[in-house]
């Protein structure tokens, strides 16, 4: 489960992220979620992602990784897609590694430490 929020909203769910980068550290949207799978669903704006099969989720993560590579390329950053964490790689192995690798690439922004609230 996820919900779109304003970054200053009181936190109700355990995970938060900023997404839809506009450049220079500015993000257009914010959400909070109860799981990393729900964060991916928020990125996709598709609540049904949480209920799909493992195969469908993998294919969706691959598509999202390819979109992220294109977005990064527009900013002069070269990314690759893989199933392990490494610098410059979008990790599609599962939902949490995907979210964390997108954070490292600057595609999304997670709070600086676990449990911290997201600020604008």
Specify the pLDDT at position 23: 81
Q: Residue-wise over 98-120: b if at least 16 C-beta within 10 A, else e?
A: bbebbbbbebbbbbeeeeeebee
76 within domain boundaries: yes
Token readout for 54 is: 């493992």
115 within domain boundaries: no
114 within domain boundaries: no
Dist CA 84 CA 97 (whole Å): 8
pLDDT tens by residue, 13-43 = 999 999 988 888 889 999 999 999 999 999 9
Regarding pTM above 0.75, the answer is yes
DSSP, collapsed to helix, strand or coil, labels residue 106 as: coil
pLDDT tens by residue, 46-105 = 999 999 999 999 999 999 999 999 989 988 899 999 999 999 999 999 999 999 999 999
Specify the pLDDT at position 116: 40
118 within domain boundaries: no
Range of the domain at 49: 2-105
94 within domain boundaries: yes
112 within domain boundaries: no
Number of independent structural domains in the chain: 1
Token readout for 97 is: 């590694």
90 within domain boundaries: yes
Specify the pLDDT at position 113: 60
């Amino acid at each position: 489960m996820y919900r779109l929020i304003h970054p200053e909203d009181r936190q109700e769910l355990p995970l938060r992220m900023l997404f839809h980068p506009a450049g220079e550290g500015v993000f257009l949207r914010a959400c909070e979620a109860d799981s990393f799978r729900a964060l991916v669903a928020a990125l996709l704006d598709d609540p049904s992602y949480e209920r799909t099969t493992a195969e469908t989720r993998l294919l969706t993560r691959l598509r999202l990784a390819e979109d992220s590579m294109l977005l990064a390329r527009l900013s002069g950053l070269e990314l690759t897609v893989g199933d392990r964490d490494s610098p410059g790689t979008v990790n599609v192995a599962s939902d949490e590694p995907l979210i964390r690798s997108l954070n490292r690439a600057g595609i999304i922004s997670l709070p600086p430490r676990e449990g911290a609230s997201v600020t604008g």
